[in-house]
Amino acid sequence: MEFGFDRYRKKVCLLALVTAGAIELISLPILGIDIGFTAGLAAGTATAVMNFNLMYLATEYALRNLRAAIIPMSTIGRLCIYGLIFFLSIKSSYAAAIGCGAGFMTDKMALFYLHVVKKVDVKSSRQVPEDVKAYYKELDKERKEREEKRVF
């Protein structure tokens, strides 16, 4: 089953890296060459891209196997990763923490660019597999039958 998100995911990750480069270029005249900020930005960007990919994999697994229980576990795990990286960057230096926070926002900025500025239509490339459609139609049919049998 192919859900058509892979090209979109790669585009978001590439734009996140480009955004991190732009943030670093903007920070050079303001901060100068600050290794702490650059390291924090790199760590934050790597964490954001990794978390975006983990979210993609968890969602794809949940859709393929019809197991939605993995989504909350994945979210908690990803938030713990964010917290750990931010904690380590604060322990390093405050410049690294600021860079890390900016790095966390790179994939969000890429998503904003794709959906607000470029207005990319993701829905046109997505297709739900036929077996998944059939499964949900069967679930809907069973739900309607149970509702018809209810007394209240």
pLDDT greater at residue 121 or residue 23: 23
- Which tens digits make up the pLDDT trace of 94-127? 888 888 888 988 988 888 888 777 766 656 556 6
In a domain, 146, yes or no: no
48 and 89 in contact (C-beta within 8 Å)?
Answer: no
In a domain, 145, yes or no: no
**Can you tell me the distance from the alpha carbon of 136 to that of 138, in angstroms, rounded to the nearest whole number?**
5
- The total number of structural domains in the chain stands at 1
In a domain, 137, yes or no: no
Q: Which domain holds residue 29?
A: 6-124
Distance set, CA 7 to CA 89, 94, 151 (Å): 31, 36, 49
In a domain, 142, yes or no: no
- Checking if the pLDDT of 50 tops 50, the result is yes
Dihedral over Cα of 68, 120, 48, 97: its sign: negative
What is the average pLDDT across 49-76?
83
| Nearest alpha-carbon partner for 106 in 23, 7, 5 | 23
Cβ neighbours of 17 (radius 10 Å): 15
In a domain, 33, yes or no: yes
Quote the pLDDT of residue 126.
Answer: 60
In a domain, 130, yes or no: no
Mean pLDDT of the chain: 81
Cβ neighbours of 9 (radius 10 Å): 16
Distance of CA 29 to the CA centre of its chain: 30
62 and 3 in contact (C-beta within 8 Å)?
Answer: no
- Checking if the pLDDT of 82 tops 60, the result is yes
pTM score, whole prediction:
0.69
In a domain, 94, yes or no: yes
| Nearest alpha-carbon partner for 99 in 23, 25, 32 | 23
| Nearest alpha-carbon partner for 106 in 33, 55, 45 | 45
What is the average pLDDT across 60-87?
84
